[in-house]
Structure 1
Amino acid sequence: MDIAHLRDFIGVVEAGSLSTAASRLHVSQPALSQRMTQLETRLGVQLLVRGPRGVRPTPTGTALYRDAQQLVRQFDRLAHDVADQRDHVHGPVAVGLPTTVAAPLAPALFGWVKHHYPGIHLQLFESMSGYIHELLLAGRLDLAAVFREDDAPRAGEVPLYSEELYLVGQPEPRPPSDHEVALADLHAVPLVTPGPNSHLRALIDRTFAAAGLRPAVVGDVESLGTMLRIAAGGQACTILPLSVVAGHGRAGEHREAGEHREAGALGVRRIVEPGLRRYVAVRTTTESYEPREAVVAVRRGVVEVTERLAAEGQWPGIG
């Protein structure tokens, strides 16, 4: 039961008719009737007596009607108070986003802030993860998305999501599977990755080393777009999250295969035995005390937008 069900129920009782209430509430009569049935089912009691001359509340429905009116008024008062406080939250908030995070998150976050907190002046910085981390440590950012190798709780951080990493490109010789490739089969595959200061490169190096291997990195590339173009051109492969490849303009048509996906001739294979997984959190500059209201508001927006994009399938590969 939520506040919308209570509003609908109040409307039906006051109208004395499902058709009249549906007109006032701007919904169809079948939809409103279904909502009332759902409410009764959820509470396990009959709330309305339906007849040829309309509907009337049962004694239990009358009691709920009185309580619902109070609850709805309290909710509306709370919502008004929150909105009034929202209007007083203002000021600049600098947010740093690694390129692989910025592509899906930045536009949606910008819209969320403008809608919920128009007094906040959002400053978005997009770059490779190493530079974002430097800006955060230097105090030039209020918030930043940071990569981690585990989901252990850390001061000043709120977990966002985790994602697997994929081999992007067509290695030679071709792996037997179009959807997966074992880490051991990548020891001789030429790779382009960001430089040693990036989290992605550090994760790749450590994962290979733990398996007694060494990645064949043939170039350090501090540009996501360039890495993808090199992989598409067949000059070398790279290792990236699925969300980046799904949005790549030259990927072509995608073909679903369980939770794996091949993007045209580009070639996208999940790395297994072992897999590569990284965790992403949003971190504030301050760790020992709560940041100012505007920063807290934007941090909440980062979490809400991330969850919404994942739920709507607009950010593939994260969980």
Structure 2
Amino acid sequence: MDIKQMQYLIEVARHRSFTRAAEALFITQPTISKTVKGLEDELGVVLFERIGKKIVLTDAGQLIVSKAQQIVAEYQNMAAELDDLRNMKRGHLRIGLPPMVGASFFPSVIGKFHERYPKITIQLFEDGAKKVESNVVEGALDAGVAVLPTSQEGLASFPFVEERLHLVLPPEHHLSGRDQVHLKELAEDDFVLFRKDFTLHDRIIATCTQIGFQPRIVYESSQWDLISEMVAVGLGITLLPETICREIDDERVRIVPLDPVIPWKLGIVWREDRYLSFATREWIQFAREMLVTSTDYRGEA
């Protein structure tokens, strides 16, 4: 078993799909299927089993993938250290961004970073904050944006924006004329939320539960603009961060402050117990300077 085979195996386990793993690796699906079959023959065990249309790891598969992740991480650390020794100031960055924050904060930051380091390539992955966190911990990403405080151990971070959630209502909603709405007044409403892999999904449900009710979720999406449109046509209500609310057409919906305040704090995260490549170290420092020290990017507390 070589490093490339291990990487193929890890991607199949991560995506739970040969097709999606092949797309992520930019290879054909038959190639990755043949590789996994060859590993099964070589090791004398079954690594994956099919359940309906999904594939899941067997016990042997879980053991081998766990060990493969450790070996690949060590290999990547070694390669990164060698690159630094050569002092070539080039490299590759894998950055995870939740869809709701990418367009609001990062195009200019990434553009200026590329101007300073034209030999560093950047690959962006859009996923919910929970998925970004886990991928950084597993080594699939070098750094990412997550909602603070993080739920994963072993992550270092710095915050760059702190806001609050606002209530977004259809114009005809009976609370749309209010200056402020208490969360408990929404107990009988239908909610339109981000998917479960978004930290915001869990944060809203947890706060509602603390208030004394379980929100009735009728639709979920990964796109804030689709969520706001569903609210605009009366399919439900939602809670969105101030940054996103500023992008919404306020003639189609009503945006109302919420009581109690639900904070939304974003930060850059990375593994604190792993060697960081030159590219990753420079990105963290550059992002800190641009997002924290520049008033153009700092959110309101």
TM-score w.r.t. structure 2 length?
A: 0.63
| Preserved contact between residue 184 and residue 212 of structure 2 (Cα < 8 Å) | no
- Give matches, 1:162-181, under 5 Å: 162-170=162-170, 172-177=173-178, 179-181=179-181
Residues 186-225 of structure 1 deviation map (CA, whole Å, 9 limit, x = unaligned): 1122111123332111101111111112212212223222
The aligned counterpart of 1:247 is 247
Residues 262-292 of structure 1 deviation map (CA, whole Å, 9 limit, x = unaligned): x2231111211x11102222111x2224512
1: CA distance between counterparts of 2:125 and 2:137? 14
**What secondary structure, in the 3-state scheme, does the structure 2 residue paired with 1:146 have?**
strand
Pair 183,135 (structure 1): closer, same or farther in 2 beyond 3 Å: same
The aligned counterpart of 2:258 is 271
Deviation of 1:120 after TM superposition, in Å, equals 1.2
| Preserved contact between residue 96 and residue 124 of structure 1 (Cα < 8 Å) | yes
Gaps of 5+ in 2: 1-86
1: CA distance between counterparts of 2:285 and 2:210? 36
| Preserved contact between residue 189 and residue 216 of structure 1 (Cα < 8 Å) | yes
Kindly provide the amino acid, as one letter, of the partner of residue 118 in structure 2: P
| Preserved contact between residue 95 and residue 124 of structure 1 (Cα < 8 Å) | yes
2: CA distance between counterparts of 1:149 and 1:214? 23
**What secondary structure, in the 3-state scheme, does the structure 1 residue paired with 2:276 have?**
coil
The aligned counterpart of 1:140 is 140
Residues 2-40 of structure 1 deviation map (CA, whole Å, 9 limit, x = unaligned): xxxxxxxxxxxxxxxxxxxxxxxxxxxxxxxxxxxxxxx
Deviation of 1:96 after TM superposition, in Å, equals 0.6
Q: Does 1:287 align with 2:288?
A: no
Deviation of 1:299 after TM superposition, in Å, equals 1.2
| Preserved contact between residue 143 and residue 268 of structure 2 (Cα < 8 Å) | yes
2: CA distance between counterparts of 1:109 and 1:124? 13
2: CA distance between counterparts of 1:290 and 1:161? 27
Kindly provide the amino acid, as one letter, of the partner of residue 273 in structure 2: S
Deviation of 1:107 after TM superposition, in Å, equals 0.7
| Preserved contact between residue 99 and residue 129 of structure 1 (Cα < 8 Å) | no
Pair 164,140 (structure 1): closer, same or farther in 2 beyond 3 Å: same
State which structure, 1 or 2, has the greater radius of gyration over its C-alpha atoms: 1
| Preserved contact between residue 168 and residue 238 of structure 1 (Cα < 8 Å) | yes
Kindly provide the amino acid, as one letter, of the partner of residue 224 in structure 1: W
| Preserved contact between residue 168 and residue 240 of structure 2 (Cα < 8 Å) | yes
1: CA distance between counterparts of 2:176 and 2:233? 18
TM-score w.r.t. structure 1 length?
A: 0.60
Q: Does 1:229 align with 2:229?
A: yes
2: CA distance between counterparts of 1:281 and 1:100? 14
2: CA distance between counterparts of 1:287 and 1:169? 41
Deviation of 1:154 after TM superposition, in Å, equals 7.3
Residues 224-256 of structure 1 deviation map (CA, whole Å, 9 limit, x = unaligned): 2211211222221111111112123xx1xxxxx
Deviation of 1:175 after TM superposition, in Å, equals 4.8
The aligned counterpart of 1:13 is none
2: CA distance between counterparts of 1:267 and 1:154? 40
Aligned-residue RMSD, C-alpha: 2.7
Q: How many residues align?
A: 214
Gaps of 5+ in 1: 1-86, 252-262
**Identity percentage over the alignment?**
20
Residues 52-110 of structure 1 deviation map (CA, whole Å, 9 limit, x = unaligned): xxxxxxxxxxxxxxxxxxxxxxxxxxxxxxxxxxx942100111111122011221122
- Give matches, 1:178-189, under 5 Å: 179-189=179-189
Kindly provide the amino acid, as one letter, of the partner of residue 261 in structure 2: G
Kindly provide the amino acid, as one letter, of the partner of residue 168 in structure 2: V
The aligned counterpart of 1:103 is 103
Deviation of 1:127 after TM superposition, in Å, equals 2.7
**What secondary structure, in the 3-state scheme, does the structure 2 residue paired with 1:234 have?**
coil
